[in-house]
Every structure is written in structure tokens, then in C-alpha cells.
A and B are shown apart, each in its own frame.
Chain A
Amino acid sequence: MTPNHHLDDATLLSYSAGALPMGLAVVAATHLERCVACRTHLHEADQIGGVLIQQQRVDAPTEAARAAMLALLDAEPTIESLAPPPDVVAERDPDRLPSALQPWFGTSIRALRWRRVAPGVQRIRASGINGGDLMLLRVAPGSKLPLHSHQGNELTVILDGAYDDMLGHFGPGDAADLDGETTHQPVTSPGLSCICVAATDAPLKFSGWIARTLQLVLGF
């Protein structure tokens, strides 16, 4: 399914620059795996990086540096090894977590060990995220979350289920790329729990809908 809600271009630019905080980059990659349109924008952003490094004023390399490079070429084997074949891409398995999330959460959605943090809300937080937070959330179907805004950046990608808010309907693969200017009130769709991955770039500032859900409505 092609996503309908995409990464902000400012987010893609930052991803290309290697400047997106770690958790946000993981969630952005989760969307990029499913979104050809955003991957195309990312390639354009990479071209900007290529031109910017070209434009720098520099001196010619030293003879010593050139000699060192040539010595490295001498040390290279003459027979080029063939590139490994690409991984066999399995048919889309509904239980399989996106590749970008697997280092943090494993491969299987069914095998996830959820921790209940409030009625109707379960969470798994990733450890080892520098400068922010990365978590999986499972919100019960038909839950109405409080009206709220955000501080800092918060990026969410839906893995399963769906929710609606003033920005539209968000289903699997859709990205909600929000900052402090957005106020919204997500309502999860009936029938299926909404599983999403979310990241913030501001540790200890639990201000997005996730935190408000936990702190205000559900008494966490």
C-alpha cells in the first residue's frame, strides 16, 4: 500500500545530511522502506550534499597522501570479488517488523513483549537512543486521545491499525511528522489496535500525544 502521509521535506533534508537525531532517523527509515516518493526526494537531497562538498575550496592533495592512496591500491586484490546478491525479499509478512526497526525491537510483531503503561496503551521503549526517545506503542481500538500540541519534533509511523485526526486518516506506512505548531486529537480506528513507532528529539520532554495520553487521560 502506498502511504498517503509523508515525511516533511525538512526532515528528509536533515536525514540526507546525517543530521537527524537517531530515533527520528530510525522512524524516518521505517517510512522510507515503504515509500518510493520519499526515497526519490531523499535522492534529490543527497544530490544537494554532493554539490555542497564539491563547492568547497581546497588545496591539492600532498604527494605523501597520493603515494599512500596508490600503496593502498597496490594492496588490493586484482580479482574483483562479485558483489553479494541482494537479500531475498520475502513476501510482505504481516508479522515482520520493518528492517529499520529490527535492530531495536526484533523481527516479529507477535513476539514483542509489550508493557502496559495505562489502560488501553502498551509500550516498548528502545534503549541506546542518543538525544531522544524511540518507542513502539499499541493503542486499543476506538481510543480517543486528548487534544494536544507538541514541543520539539515528534515523528510517528503507523505499522498496523489506524487513527484519524484533523490532519486526516493515518494507516500503515503513513508518517505523522509534527512539531510544536500542530495541535491534534488522534482517535484510533475501531476493530484493530493501532501499532506505531514514534520518536522524539527531546529526552525528558514528554509532550506529544503519547505522553499526554499517559499523563493526563489515563492517569499515568
Chain B
Amino acid sequence: MAAVAVQRDRASFMRIYDHYAPRLQRYLRNLGVPESMADELVQEVLLTLWRKAAMFDPARASLATWLYRVARNLYIDQVRREPHWLPIQEGLDRLDDDESSRLDSQPESCFDQDILKQAIDRLPPGQAKLVRMGYLESKSHSEISAELNMPLGSVKSSLRRAFAKLQASMRAPR
């Protein structure tokens, strides 16, 4: 990643592309984005990385998270056509930048992704299903509740329990 930022290294960039482009494509297709539009959005996500490589801070977020956020934001902006979403997210990001410079402290170091992966794999199947429906199908609590014929309160409490377990894995000392 540093090579992409400093040397504008196309080979390093294309290694990132080879890994993430098909995953981002799958993510967008699962959200119902038509194939040609998904291809364009994936290119736009990766092009954003190419342009902003110097602004990517591995201490703040993993590359996967960074790309996920860019893809999600473009999906909401360009597919769902909610024009105010992007500026609001950028505003929140700037607040975090201000906060970390004001505190003059090291931001939380990036946790070990493998530990989070294992924690996701260890979730009870019911909780894992709800988490995936939320993230990978972008289903609201009410939609999940209707689709699974499950009370809204149970959907939310299951998601809360799942999040607590995953947070614990991210915060565990290494």
C-alpha cells in the first residue's frame, strides 16, 4: 500500500485490484446493482484508492474497511440516489481527523483482521445470518423482521449481541 502512495506503483496497485475488485463486484451485485453498473462502481472505488492512496492511513482502518466504506458510499449515492449521504459521511470523517489531531494521540491501531474473521465464524448461525442480511443485502431491521417472521425487538437484540461479541474480539489485547 505504501508503494502505491509513494511510488505510484502500478504493479502493487494491481495486486490490490486483483484481490478486491471481484469482492467489491460481488458485494454490489448482491445488493442488486446491475452488472455493468457494478463494474463501473468497482473501477471508481479502486480509482479513488489510486488518487487518495496518500490519504489512506493504515493505523485508522484496514484497507478492506476503507474500500468497503467507499463502495457503500458510492452505492448509496449513485444507486440509491441519496445525494446528501456522501457529504454527511465526509463531514463525520473530518470530525474524526480533527479529534485525533486535537488529542494529539495515536489513533486506535488497526486490529488483527483474522481475529475478527474468527469471531464472525464463531457467531451462532442465527446471529451470523442477521449480520450478513444487514451488511451484504443491506436489509433494514424491519425488512429482516418481515422476511424472517421474527419480532423487530428480537432482530435488534440478536444484532446487539452479535455486535458485542465482535467488538470484544476487536478490543481484546493481543
Residue of A nearest to B139 (CB): A19
User: Is there a chain B Cβ closer than 8 Å to A14's Cβ?
Assistant: yes
Instruction: Spot the interface stretch: A20-28, A106-114, A191-199.
Output: A20-28
- CB contacts under 8 Å to A, within B1-20, are 8, 10, 13-14, 17-18
Q: Please measure, in the bound complex, the distance between the C-alpha atom of A8 and the C-alpha atom of B1, giving whole angstroms.
A: 35
B17 with A69: CB separation less than 8 A? yes
- CB contacts under 8 Å to B, within A9-34, are 9-10, 12-14, 16-22, 25-26, 29, 32-33
A-B contact count (CB 8 A): 196
A179 with B152: CB separation less than 8 A? yes
Question: Which chain B residues lie closer than 8 Å to A72 at the CB level?
Answer: 43, 47
Q: Looking at the assembled complex, report how far the CB atom of A194 sits from the nearest CB atom of chain B, in whole angstroms.
A: 24
B92 with A47: CB separation less than 8 A? no
Q: Looking at the assembled complex, report how far the CB atom of B51 sits from the nearest CB atom of chain A, in whole angstroms.
A: 7
Q: Please measure, in the bound complex, the distance between the C-alpha atom of A93 and the C-alpha atom of B52, giving whole angstroms.
A: 32
- CB contacts under 8 Å to B, within A119-153, are 130-131, 152-153
Flag A136-177 by CB within 8 Å of B: 1 or 0 each. 000000000000000011000000000000000000000000
A61 with B22: CB separation less than 8 A? yes
Known: A8-B156, A36-B99. A50 touches B64 (CB 8 A): yes
Known: A13-B159, A48-B116, A61-B18. A19 touches B10 (CB 8 A): no
User: Is there a chain A Cβ closer than 8 Å to B96's Cβ?
Assistant: yes
What is the size, in residues, of chain B's interface with A at 8 Å between Cβ atoms?
78
Question: Which chain B residues lie closer than 8 Å to A16 at the CB level?
Answer: 135
Q: Please measure, in the bound complex, the distance between the C-alpha atom of A19 and the C-alpha atom of B33, giving whole angstroms.
A: 15
B47 with A47: CB separation less than 8 A? no
Query: Which B residues are closer than 8 A to A by beta carbons?
Result: 8, 10, 13-14, 17-18, 21-27, 39, 43, 46-47, 50-52, 54-55, 61-62, 64-69, 71-72, 75-76, 82-85, 87-88, 91-92, 94-99, 108, 111, 113, 116-117, 120, 131-132, 134-136, 138-143, 152-153, 155-157, 159-160, 162-164, 166-167, 170
Extra A-B contacts (19), CB below 8 Å, given A89-B98, A180-B152: A12-B163, A19-B134, A39-B95, A45-B163, A46-B68, A50-B113, A53-B71, A54-B117, A58-B22, A58-B25, A65-B39, A66-B14, A73-B50, A76-B47, A83-B52, A103-B83, A153-B141, A179-B153, A201-B141
